[in-house]
Amino acid sequence: QVQLAESGGGLVQPGNSLKLSCSASGRTSTNSLALAWFRQAPGKEREFVAAIRYSGHKYYSDSVKGRFSISTDGAKNTVYLQMDSLQPEDSAAYFCARGNGVILSSIRSKSAYAYWGQGTQVTVSS
């Protein structure tokens, strides 16, 4: 089993930045690994935000492209989400996800990821 733990959420004003972290523990594997961030606002579906594959290729939703950046540490045990120019519509619970054998066509799909964190709240408000 793999456990994921997010941190770094909080309350920020519009235009400011936050950096989320997600650390993995347990029986981790880097075989065809994909790490991702999703978010879920109240009353809405959980939506894809960003993902990074073991190769280093990165993928973003249109709503965050150019403002958010996903990265990992060398061991691929920690994934980060740098969020700049935050807007009120970015307010949500942010979840990290981890999966092995994730094919490219499924990189944005919740069902492709076997392991999930508990979420960290991000609130953007003046």
Tens of each residue's pLDDT in the chain, 126 residues: 899 999 999 999 999 999 999 999 888 887 788 999 999 999 999 999 999 999 999 999 999 999 999 999 888 889 999 999 999 999 999 999 999 888 889 999 999 999 999 999 999 999
Structure tokens at 29: 């594997």
Q: What is the pLDDT of residue 41?
A: 97
Q: What is the pLDDT of residue 76?
A: 81
Q: What is the pLDDT of residue 3?
A: 94
